[in-house]
A and B are shown apart, each in its own frame.
Chain A
Amino acid sequence: ETGVTQTPRHLVMGMTNKKSLKCEQHLGHNAMYWYKQSAKKPLELMFVYNFKEQTENNSVPSRFSPECPNSSHLFLHLHTLQPEDSALYLCASSQLGGLAYEQYFGPGTRLTVT
């Protein structure tokens, strides 16, 4: 595997379900991110992990819970979601501290909440 991978690619869940999204990066980066992408809106940054520590939580509701067990893996735990949470959830990684500041994205998980 290369780059940034995300599983599952598609997820349909009811409002009472609990599910988790998984992201794995194979680039040796030290920062990982969760974004939400809704139709006709800019990418919304949800969480940032630098060196496995959460450094940012952009006022995300507590029904979204991130977990970063190591610098290569990132999870987003979901519970009691609302229909307006349906969106494409993107994971990204980057290398902080160097000259290159680019973020590399995974393919995303298309989430539908029914």
Chain B
Amino acid sequence: GQQLNQSPQSMFIQEGEDVSMNCTSSSIFNTWLWYKQDPGEGPVLLIALYKAGELTSNGRLTAQFGITRKDSFLNISASIPSDVGIYFCAGQTTFMNRDDKIIFGKGTRLHILP
């Protein structure tokens, strides 16, 4: 079945550092989504990408839809303590189909060292 490989699994960084994580697949996706999940909460949508090559920002977050449509990355600039959490990528294979479903990566757990 389709799988998303998300890396790294976890990251330990200093406050103020930039962060980069990515998702890859052997399958082509038409939509990429990035979510963040805080402890004890559900995932919250950060950025949605709909077009190959698209680069979208949301504050200090920037995500790109890879040209091959098989990958996406998320960058966080100048990390702050509230960035701690688990970041999930998600891909959707077809567009405007009632039977679509999202496939999620296993997540990247971000830790910020004091």
Residue contact A102 to B96, C-beta cutoff 8 Å: no
Please measure, in the bound complex, the distance between the C-alpha atom of A105 and the C-alpha atom of B38, giving whole angstroms: 12
Residue contact B101 to A45, C-beta cutoff 8 Å: yes
- Most chain B CB within 10 A, of A6, A42, A90, A97, is at A42
Total residues of chain A contacting the partner, CB 8 A? 27
Q: Which of B40, B96, B101, B104 contacts A97 (CB 8 A)?
A: B96
Q: Which of B40, B45, B96, B99 contacts A104 (CB 8 A)?
A: B45
Q: Which of A40, A100, A105 contacts B43 (CB 8 A)?
A: A105
Q: Mark B19-43, 1 if CB is under 8 A from A, else 0.
A: 0000000000001010100001111
Q: How many A-B residue pairs lie within 8 Å, measured between CB atoms?
A: 61
Total residues of chain B contacting the partner, CB 8 A? 27
Please measure, in the bound complex, the distance between the C-alpha atom of A40 and the C-alpha atom of B75, giving whole angstroms: 22
B102 within 8 Å of A (CB atoms): yes
B105 within 8 Å of A (CB atoms): yes
B 73-114 contacts with A by CB, 8 A: 88, 90, 92, 95-96, 98-107
Please measure, in the bound complex, the distance between the C-alpha atom of A90 and the C-alpha atom of B37, giving whole angstroms: 12
| Nearest CB of A to B98, in Å | 5
Residues in B whose Cβ lies below 8 Å from that of A104? 45
Residues in B whose Cβ lies below 8 Å from that of A96? 96, 98, 100
Q: Which of A50, A102, A107, A110 contacts B33 (CB 8 A)?
A: A102
| Nearest CB of A to B83, in Å | 19
Which 5 A-B pairs have CB atoms at the shortest separation, nearest pair first?
A105-B42, A43-B104, A42-B104, A105-B43, A107-B42
List chain B positions with a Cβ less than 8 A from chain A. 4, 31, 33, 35, 40-45, 48, 50, 88, 90, 92, 95-96, 98-107
